[in-house]
Amino acid sequence: RSKREGKGTFHFFEPEMDAEMRERRELELELRATDFDRELELHYQPIISLRSGGLRGFEALVRWRNPRRGMVSPAEFIPLAEETGMIDAIGRWVLEEACRRAASWPPDLIIAVNASAVQFRQGRFAQTVSEAIAASGLDPSRLEIEITESVLLADTGANLALLERLKDIGVRVALDDFGTGYSSMSYLRRFPFSRLKIDRSFIRDIGSSRESMAIVRAIIGLGANLGIDTTAEGVETGAQLELLRQERCGEIQGFLFSPPVDSAGALRIIDSYRGDESKVA
Ligand code: C2E
Ligand code: MG
Ligand code: MG
Ligand code: MG
């Protein structure tokens, strides 16, 4: 009897939940069966220095070209990969591919690679990073690992030790989506991050929201006082660019300059900057 009541209670939601779970399960199975070299690819979004007007490098953003579904967004399959333990293999593939690609670029360009919290906490992360560097021959100072504040919430000691290991390897570490997580002020004091990336949600509103502008200004000031570069992500308009320039933001990324492009597109961007260093910004 109680079973029937229980069933009745959820009756309305059941078909929908079923469909959603089945869909996730299917996506998981497809991801498991994926040959990364065939279906995963990296796209690259240029990072522009506002001080020099030049190209600093690119952020690597993973794409899954699923034969049946088309492009699956990382926002969709990275969380799934984290829950199912596949993030280690995907993260390794991303690191290796990104380092190999960057090693073929001019040596003044950096490559930024995102690492998820799950990947970061898993014990072999530093090992994976040094292996990718060794295999590609990339100078470690050209690799920047982007982590979010959420990574730093737990295991203070272990996290700091890992950050120190990465520093010993010679790679940079940036704080991504800065301002959206729990504040990591104490980490800023204890570890020399190379960059703070101001989250797109603040940049979007800087023209219209005094609060967003105040936050962006505060983050840039914080970075300046700590000697850490700031990058604004999601810059889409000339007006946003102008405000960021006035605030002396160091670097920008966004559709205003370029969306993420494939490796051939990255080469074209590199070429266009070789021709004229001060062209875009
Ligand atoms: P993120 O690291 O903060 O990357 C920035 C996201 O903003 C990218 O979305 C990029 O395409 C998008 N974006 C860049 N400029 C603009 C703009 O001007 N306007 C708007 N509206 N969006 C812009 P994407 O590629 O879909 O990636 C989403 C998130 O997925 C990333 O956020 C990152 O957290 C995660 N991700 C991507 N690649 C990887 C990866 O290789 N490994 C891991 N662990 N996570 C990844
Ligand atoms: Mg990022
Ligand atoms: Mg970001
Ligand atoms: Mg973001």
Q: What is the pLDDT of residue 4?
A: 45
| ipTM value greater than 0.90 | yes
According to the model, what pLDDT value does residue 183 have?
Answer: 63
State if residue 199 touches ligand 1 by the CB under 6 angstroms criterion: no
- Mean pLDDT (whole number) for 223-251: 96
Question: Which positions ≥6 away from 104 have C-beta within 8 Å?
Answer: none
The verdict on the CB of residue 116 being under 6 Å from ligand 1 is yes
pLDDT given for residue 155 in this prediction: 67
Average pLDDT over residues 56-83: 94
Q: Which ligand 1 atom lies nearest to the CA of residue 94?
A: 41
Q: Residue 146: nearest ligand to its CA? A: 2
- Look at residue 7 and tell me whether its pLDDT is greater than 80: no
Q: Which residue has the tokens 């926002």?
A: 75
* 223's tokens: 């970075």
Query: Phi first, then psi: what are they for 98, rounded to 5°?
Result: -65, -45
Retrieve residue 81's tokens.
Answer: 């990969």
61 Cβ closer than 6 Å to some ligand 1 atom: yes
C-beta of residue 281 within 8 angstroms of C-beta of residue 50: yes
* Cβ pair 222, 184 in contact under 8 A: no
Q: What is the pLDDT of residues 169-201, one digit of tens each?
A: 999 999 999 988 776 677 888 888 999 999 999
- 233 Cα–ligand 4 center, Å: 8
* Average pLDDT of the residues of the chain: 90
CA distance linking residue 191 with residue 184, whole number of Å: 10
Give the residue, by CA position, lying nearest to ligand 1 atom 38.
61
Band (5; pLDDT cuts 50, 70, 90): very low
On the question of pLDDT at 1 being above 70, the answer is no
110-114 and 143-148 beta bridge pairing: parallel
- Please state, in angstroms and as integers, the Cα–Cα distance from residue 95 to each residue in 51, 143, 259, 272, following that order: 28, 9, 21, 26
Measured between alpha carbons, how far is 42 from 87 in angstroms, rounded to an integer? 15
In this predicted model, what pLDDT tens digit does every residue of 94-126 receive, in sequence order? 999 999 999 999 999 999 999 998 888 888 999
| Whether residue 74 has its Cβ less than 6 Å from ligand 1 | yes
SS3 label, residue 43: strand
| CB 236 less than 6 A from any atom of ligand 1 | yes
Whether 2 shows a pLDDT value over 70: the answer reads no
Q: Which residue has the higher pLDDT, 176 or 20?
A: 176
What's the number of CA atoms in the CB half-sphere (13 Å) around residue 98? 32
Residue 135, both tokens: 């295999």
| DSSP 3-state of 85 | coil
Closest atom of ligand 1 to CA, residue 87: 44
User: Cα–Cα distance between 137 and 234 in angstroms, integer?
Assistant: 31
